[in-house]
Amino acid sequence: MNARLNPNLLNPDLLEATRLTRAGQLLEATALIQRALGGRFAPPPAADAAAPDTPAADRAAEPPLEGSCRVIDIGPFVADPEPQPAQRDHADTTAKAGAPAAEAVVSPLASRLGAALRDKLFKFRGAVPAFEPIVPGAAPETVPDGARFISGSYTNAAGTRCYKLYVPSNYGGEPVPLVVMLHGCTQNPDDFAAGTRMNELAEQEPCLVLYPAQSAGANGSKCWNWFKPSDQRAGQGEPSLIAGMTREIAASYNVDRQRIYIAGLSAGGAMATTMAATYPDLYAAAGIHSGLPHAAAHDLPSALAAMQQGSARAAGIRATGAGTSREMPHPVPVIVFHGDRDTTVHPRNGEQVIVQFAPAGVRTGSIGVGSKPRASIERGQVPNGRAYTRTTYHHPNGSPHVEQWTVHGAGHAWSGGSSRGSYTDPQGPDAAKEMLRFFLAHPAGKAAPEPGRSV
């Protein structure tokens, strides 16, 4: 006999969430599920509430926080240099052991609905593409004679983060560029270095490569907390840690201050947009791979919605043309990579990054407003690999400012990367090589020349 569902067992919020889910309104459904299940899918604390690992007084700090940098050793990455107190996972959306028994008697319909949303939220936490297995951690990079891959940590009032720094064998103390690389969820510096092969490029084009590491204490999936307002501002939270670490390395080595760049993948790409938006005087250009616009979300539900549909805030900027130029009067040059089959972070987010960082006169009707720019479009294909489209948007004076790479058929993975790392697509154009080429053509405060053909 088929059992009938007793509607009295259902919270009205769950019934409404069921309707919203069927209608495709996942953001609203997620919010209702959070309330109905008593916070089981609760988003991170509000912006005015201090995170467990950050003193309340520091959340409102405006000037850059002072910090210290400590070199630990030379060798494979270790997640945390010293034991830290147990902290609440900022993005924890999974059921906890010993959860209240009431949750176990939620109706079958509510359970199915919760499972569906939990599955989507889990994909957010790990940013796991269906076609790419998780690699727990790549083996330490093989370092050429004379090169160093140094482990260290940086501390300020916002907390502590570890890092790895690659010093190429050809570094002799002369001024060199610095490239900061922000990994994606579940990754670490060794894994990201292996997958992107940026260290190999540093041997060809001398530069230092800094890999900040997100801690499991700050986010259980080691995602950068790009969706938290407290981690979206200069002078506090994770931006202060990344910027402080960057400055310490620049002060410790002979870094060309006009050639400091930042790049990232997925959650790291989203944080890279925040760093470029909030520290334009520090970073000369940014590379965003499968990421999202700066401040695309303010909590977990809005982050999920942005990943699936694009940022509502960025869409509003696109429709009205208001906001971006006021927030970023002098946006830094950006190069954006995104697969057009990415089901983890919708490709629309890549277009919205372009909107945010395209200065007045460079936006085009398809992704923004303003005078029609001069744009060049190149289509090509990697030998025995993926096709791509590269669109370069130019200033009215003719200099390129924004470069957009659409990799056809690619999902949520670093294009042209090595299979030795996680979340890579070796068949795509070499994103690391193209980003470094773009970076070196864009020193701070100088117009760049026309990009040459590559790949």
Residues labelled catalytic: 266
CA distance 278 to 350: 19
Structure tokens that stand for 61 in this block: 């700090």
Cα-Cα-Cα-Cα dihedral sign, residues 37, 40, 44, 48? positive
Question: First-to-last CA distance in the chain?
Answer: 63
Angstrom CA distances, 52 to 87, 217, 378, stand at: 6, 9, 48
CA distance 191 to 423: 10
Q: Where are the alpha helices (DSSP H) in 284-393?
A: 300-309, 312-320, 324-327, 348-357
SS3 312: helix
Q: Find residue 209's DSSP bridge partners.
A: 166, 179
Q: Are 242 and 160 in contact (CB under 8 A)?
A: no
Q: Are 344 and 127 in contact (CB under 8 A)?
A: yes
Cα-Cα-Cα-Cα dihedral sign, residues 144, 145, 147, 151? positive
Q: Where are the alpha helices (DSSP H) in 139-211?
A: 189-196, 198-204
